[in-house]
Amino acid sequence: MTRRRTLLFGAAAAVALTAVGVGTWWWAPWDEADPAGVRIDVDGDIRTHDPALVAGTEDHDWYVYSTGDVQKGFGSPQIRRSTDGETWEYVGTVWDKPDDVAWVYEEVSGLSNFWAPEVLEHDGTWYLYYSASTFGSNASVIGLMTSPTLDPDDPDYGWTDQGLVWRSTPGESTYNAIDPGVITDEDGSPWMAFGSFWGGIQLIELEWPSGKPIAGAEPVMIAHRTTATNAIEAPYLAYRDGWYYLFVSRDSCCQGTESTYSIAVGRAETITGPYLDSWGNDMRYDGGDELLSTRGSMIGPGGQSYSDGYLALHYYDGDDGGDFRLEIRRLGWTDDGWPVAWTAEELAD
């Protein structure tokens, strides 16, 4: 039987069972000395889905790229900017006419908008990965664009189409080529996790500076629910203190207040895994510690990304009819290296 522990009180013994006499146990409450997440009070234009966060630095503002809306820029990924990570403004779309990615429409029939972008920098170039698909189909592609800067006000700004990164084909592919999440490992090699339902989360090696798969690359499965629906998607990889962390969304998104999304995490000492949860369960066999789930008016959190200690995600707002919203949390970390996203106030309830 698979054991799976919820990180409600922080992983690795933030919740303890203590013996009081023979056969008597009590739950130790969260202690103020234990780690907790910090919720960023975001405002402004925060209607984002599948946010790809770029935390601000001395060199650039904060940015969030997110799933497109067919009514804006023909469904191109949306861009929002903030000077402080709190107040956000909408600054446009990555492209604004279908001709900019005409090849994608030839690949994916019935395409209306572009999903779940990923943004990262390598050697002075920004790489933007995006997915194109339709619901219920694995006729999908992941594409790539590059730009020398993220700043739309910079005269050098502009995204250049780099074409296809990877595709999945009905009847041939056991996976779905959507939801890219890219990381450069400690040896300097880039890797892309991707996938949604179907054959689970996949990992494939890329190369710089193309940002595309190495010659002969084939994806390998690194996470799976082991159920008929295999409700797992939106992988994101992060590195911290000798560990690679795999964040995933589980169950169902996109249903407003009926959404059942939650975020789970596991870790590995090597980029290719295996990714285990805090109990040692393998994420290829439905392992994974729950990091965030529905609580109060925050319904179905998921579609996450990670940047410089911050976890960005969307949720469906129960106080606003289930419309989707941006959420950003600075993660806390246990002494043995497990992330905590719940805030101190939430843990104390």
Task: Please say if 218 is a catalytic residue.
Answer: no
Nearest to 298 by CA among 269, 279, 281, 319: 319
Considering 50, 69, 277, 290, which one is annotated as catalytic? 50
What is the DSSP pairing of strand 212-213 with strand 201-207?
A: antiparallel
Q: Which helix (H) or strand (E) holds 133?
A: none
198 labeled binding residue: yes
- Tokens matching residue 181: 């999440």
178 labeled binding residue: yes
DSSP string, 251-299: S--SSGGG---EEEEEEESSTT---B-TT--BGGGT--EEEE--BTTEE
59 labeled binding residue: no
197 labeled binding residue: yes
CA distance 141 to 105: 10
Q: Which helix (H) or strand (E) holds 165?
A: strand 160-168
Place of tokens 């392992």: 287
136 labeled binding residue: yes
Measure CA 31 to chain center.
29
247 labeled binding residue: no
Place of tokens 């129960």: 318
CA distance 94 to 42: 23
- Tokens matching residue 16: 């303890």
176 labeled binding residue: yes
Q: Are 337 and 60 in contact (CB under 8 A)?
A: no
Considering 34, 69, 233, 289, which one is annotated as catalytic? 233
CA distance 228 to 307: 33
Strand order in the sheet with 125-132: 114-122, 125-132, 140-147, 160-168
Task: Please say if 323 is a catalytic residue.
Answer: no
CA distance 35 to 347: 10
CA distance 46 to 60: 20
Alpha helix (H) residue ranges in 65-187: 102-107
Residues annotated in the binding site, as ranges?
50, 136, 176-179, 196-198
As annotated, the active-site residues are 50, 233
Residues annotated in the binding site for substrate, as ranges?
50, 136, 176-179, 196-198
